Amino acid sequence: MTQRTDIERVLDLWLADGPNHVPDRVFDDAVAAVYRAPQRSPWRLRWRDLKVSTRFLAAAIAVLAIVAVGVGLTALGPTSNTGASPSPSMAPTPTPTQAAVTDDPSLCQPSDPECTGRLAAGTHSTAAVLAPVRYTVPEGWQKPLDVPGAMNLEADGAPANTIIAVWPDWNIMSQSTCENRPEEGRGRSVEDLLAFLIDHPGLVVSTPERVVLGGLPGVVVDVRRDETWSGPCTNAVNLFTHQGTINDIGWQDISGDRVNRLWLLDGPNGHVTNVAIEAPNSDAFDAFVEIATPVIESFRFQREALCVDTSECTGPLLAGLHHAGPPLEQPFTYVVPDGWVNDWNVPLGYALVPAGATETSEPGIFIFLDVYGSDQTSCTRRPAGGLGRTSADLVAWLGALPDLSITAPEPVVLGGLTGSRVDVSVTSGGPVCSGDYQLWVSDYQPLWWGLTPGHPTRHYLLDLPDRHNVLIVVPAPEADFDALMAIADPIIESFDFTP
C-alpha cells in the first residue's frame, strides 16, 4: 500500500526532543475490569533509538517474488527509573515456533479460535475481533478477551493490567468532556490519529517510525500523559472511542503513569487497526516488551480476499498454517509465508504457487493423488500398461526411461508418509506432446503432468495407506532451480498427512 503524502509531511516535519510513553485503555461489554495504576514517582526516561528491521526473502526468479516481512521491535522503548520500587521480574520468552500443540484439555488449542483462556503453545487465530489476526505464543500466555471491539493477550508473571491488545476502527474521542463520544469533524485514518496524538498538549509522544506489521503498513509511537496536564478528565487524556464506528462501549484513554506503545496500521477497511503494548508504569513496560515482542512480530493480519486456514478457499493465502481438504480427497496441513496462492483444489490435486505464477509451467508446488506413469508410445495421456503404483514402482520406472536424467533416489519421510525424492529433467527425444515430455496421468482426467525441456522438476513419490501414492512436484527453470528449492523446501517440509 502506498504511504499517503500527509503522513510523509507529519513524519518529516515533526521534531521531538525525545519519545515518551503513555497508556491506552479499552472497556468492552465483555470486560468489567478497570486497567489503571497511577504511580506517584516522576517520569524519568532514557530513550534508546527506535529500530525497525525488515527482512525480505526473494528468489532470483523473475516470476517469483516472495516477501517475508518481519518487523524488529525489540530496540524500541524506554529505560526508566520511577521511584524506589523494583522492576517487575519476568522470565525471558523464547522466540515462538510454529505449532507445538499440547494435549492438555484445559488449554485453548490452535484449532479452536473461539476459546478464551490459557493458550497452548503454537499458532492461534482470533474468532471475533474485527481485525482478524493470526499469532504465535509460547507456553505461559492467555487470551482473556476476543470480542468484535478488542482482543487481549496476557503473559504469566506480568503485572496486573499489562497486555497486548488489538483494537479495530477507532474514532478520536471527545476532548471537551469526559463523555464516551466522538470528537466532531475528526478523520479516522492513520494520519488523522497520529496527528491528533502529536498535537495534543497533554501527551508526550515519541518520534513516529514507519513499520509494516503483520502485512499492514503504518507507524509506531510510544505515548504517555504529560505529568503537568490538567484537562476535563482528572489525571487522564481521552484518546479513542468506538462510538461512531462499530458502536460498542469500547474506549481508550491515558491516565496516571501508564505506558503504551501504539502501532497505527492501515487496515483492510480503509481505517485503522491499532496494536498496543500496555503497562501500568515504565518498569513494567520495559520488562513486558522483552516477552511481548516475539508475539507481536508473529502477527499476520487477515487482509481482504485472503484465505485463512480453510480447505474451501482458493486464492491468496494468509501466512501461517492451512488445511487442505475437500474437494481434495486426501487432507493434509501445511505452512506458507506471505505471497503464496492456493491456485486450485480438485479431488486428486492441489496447487500452491507464488503470487503471479498461476500456470503449471511456472514455479510452484503441485500435489497429485494416485498417479499412473504415462504411456510412452503415444500422446493419449493414458496409463502405461503393467506398471505398479507404489513409490518404489514409479521411481524404478522413471530410472528406466531413456530420455530422462534422474538423480539417485533419496529415501524420505514427509508428513508421516515414506517414499523417495528425485530430481528429473529431460535430456533428449521422448514423447514430447504439446511441448512437454508426458510423464504422469490421473483418474481425474483434467490432471496430467509433463516435463518441459530446460525445466528440471523435483519429485517426491510417497506411499499412501489405503490408496496408492502421493506425488509432489516442484518445477523451475534450470538456472533458478536451486533458488526455488530453497524457498519451496520449507513449505513442503511442513506438510503433514497424518489424520
**Which tens digits make up the pLDDT trace of 326-337?**
889 999 999 998
Determine contact, residues 209/52, Cβ cutoff 8 Å: yes
Give CA 153 to chain center in angstroms.
16
* Domain boundary pick from 301, 329, 345: 301
365 and 427 in a single domain? The answer is yes
Residue 269, classed as helix, strand or coil, is: coil
Check pLDDT > 80 for residue 439. yes
Residue type, 134: R
Say what the pTM is: 0.49
- What pLDDT is attached to residue 340? 87
Cell 501461517, residue located: 320
The whole-angstrom separation of Cα 63 and Cα 120 is: 39
Residue 498 belongs to some domain of the structure: no
pLDDT tens readout for residues 82-100: 222 223 344 344 333 334 4
Residue 122 belongs to some domain of the structure: yes
Determine contact, residues 135/357, Cβ cutoff 8 Å: no
145 and 193 in a single domain? The answer is yes
- Cα angle 17, 22, 28 (rounded to 5 degrees) comes to 150
Residue 97, C-alpha cell as written in the block: 515456533
286 and 328 in a single domain? The answer is no
What's the DSSP call for residue 35? -
269 and 320 in a single domain? The answer is no
Handedness of CA 452, 315, 345, 458 (dihedral sign): positive
320 and 400 in a single domain? The answer is yes
199 to 46, 191, 192, 205: CA distances (angstroms): 23, 12, 11, 9
Residue 2, classed as helix, strand or coil, is: coil
296 and 322 in a single domain? The answer is no
247 and 319 in a single domain? The answer is no
* Domain boundary pick from 259, 278, 301: 301
98 and 74 in a single domain? The answer is yes
140 and 203 in a single domain? The answer is yes
Per the structure, the complete domain to which residue 438 belongs is given by: 315-493
221 and 99 in a single domain? The answer is yes
Check pLDDT > 90 for residue 155. yes
359 and 427 in a single domain? The answer is yes
Nearest partner of 384 among 435, 448, 436, judged by Cα: 448
- Cα angle 48, 50, 56 (rounded to 5 degrees) comes to 140
Residue 352 belongs to some domain of the structure: yes
Q: Which residue has the higher pLDDT, 439 or 42?
A: 439
Direct distance between the N- and C-terminal alpha carbons of the chain, in angstroms, rounded to an integer = 40
Residue 384 belongs to some domain of the structure: yes
Residue type, 337: P
Check pLDDT > 60 for residue 34. no
Residue 150 belongs to some domain of the structure: yes
Q: Which CATH number is 350's domain given?
A: 3.40.1000.10
Check pLDDT > 80 for residue 448. yes
Range of 10-19, 379-388, 456-465 with top mean pLDDT: 456-465
Residue 448 belongs to some domain of the structure: yes
The whole-angstrom separation of Cα 384 and Cα 119 is: 52
Residue type, 122: G
Residue 404 belongs to some domain of the structure: yes
134 and 264 in a single domain? The answer is yes
Helices 5-13, 190-199: axis angle to 10 degrees equals 20
Lowest mean per-residue pLDDT among 1-15, 277-291, 381-395 = 1-15
Which residues, 6+ apart, have CB-to-CB distance to 110 below 8 Å?
99, 101, 120, 122, 123, 124, 125, 321
* Domain boundary pick from 250, 275, 301: 301
Residue type, 72: G
Over its C-alpha atoms, the chain yields an Rg (Å, rounded) of 27
Q: What's the domain count of the chain?
A: 2
Residue 306 belongs to some domain of the structure: no
The whole-angstrom separation of Cα 131 and Cα 168 is: 6
